[in-house]
């Protein structure tokens, strides 16, 4: 998914290397990506303490990778229950991950309702999630053939 977004970034004139782009500095919570903001809310709610800005980058990065890995594990459980794994099963999975974001994140005030986004934005985001799903499906399929 990140590779898809990185390629779009480069096509629009971006010049950062993949490492610089993926691990770009996050100075504070105002500029943190949505996964980091979710982690901040959960931790602040649990600890009843404000999380300082200095943690924005680390928490955002950890949550980003944890979120994707968690969905990948869920895919592995679901795909492991079918008789014949197929990489293409990842495509509807990617669509489900995409749809869940637009169902949950508006409730948290991090996204607007889905109907307030333009078709191009939704299509680009869906496309990236379909690539994520296909990647998860392909990894699971390859692993199931080897093991």
Q: What is the pLDDT of residues 109-145, one digit of tens each?
A: 888 999 999 999 999 999 999 999 999 999 999 998 8
Query: pLDDT value at position 127?
Result: 95
22, 27, 30, 35: CA torsion to nearest 10: 40
**How is 69-121 classified by DSSP, letter by letter?**
HHHHHHHHHHHTTSSS--GGGHHHHHHHHHHHHHHHTTTTTSS--GGGS-HHH
Q: What is the pLDDT of residues 42-57, one digit of tens each?
A: 999 999 999 999 999 9
Instruction: State what percent of residues in the chain have pLDDT above 70.
Output: 99
Query: pLDDT value at position 146?
Result: 83
Mean pLDDT, range 69-76, rounded to an integer:
94
Query: pLDDT value at position 72?
Result: 93
State the chain's mean pLDDT as an integer.
Answer: 93
């Amino acid at each position: 998914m990140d590779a898809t977004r990185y390629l779009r970034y480069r096509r629009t004139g971006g010049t950062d290397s993949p490492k610089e782009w993926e691990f770009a500095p996050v100075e504070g919570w105002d500029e943190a990506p949505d996964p980091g903001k979710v982690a901040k809310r959960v931790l602040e709610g649990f600890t009843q303490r404000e999380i300082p800005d200095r943690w924005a980058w680390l928490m955002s990065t950890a949550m980003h990778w944890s979120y994707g890995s968690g969905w990948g594990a869920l895919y592995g459980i679901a795909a492991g229950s079918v008789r014949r794994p197929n990489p293409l099963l990842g495509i509807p999975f990617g669509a489900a991950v995409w749809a869940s974001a637009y169902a949950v994140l508006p409730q948290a005030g991090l996204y607007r309702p889905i109907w307030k986004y333009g078709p191009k934005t939704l299509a680009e985001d869906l496309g990236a999630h379909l690539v994520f799903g296909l990647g998860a499906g392909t990894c699971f399929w390859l692993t199931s053939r080897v093991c």
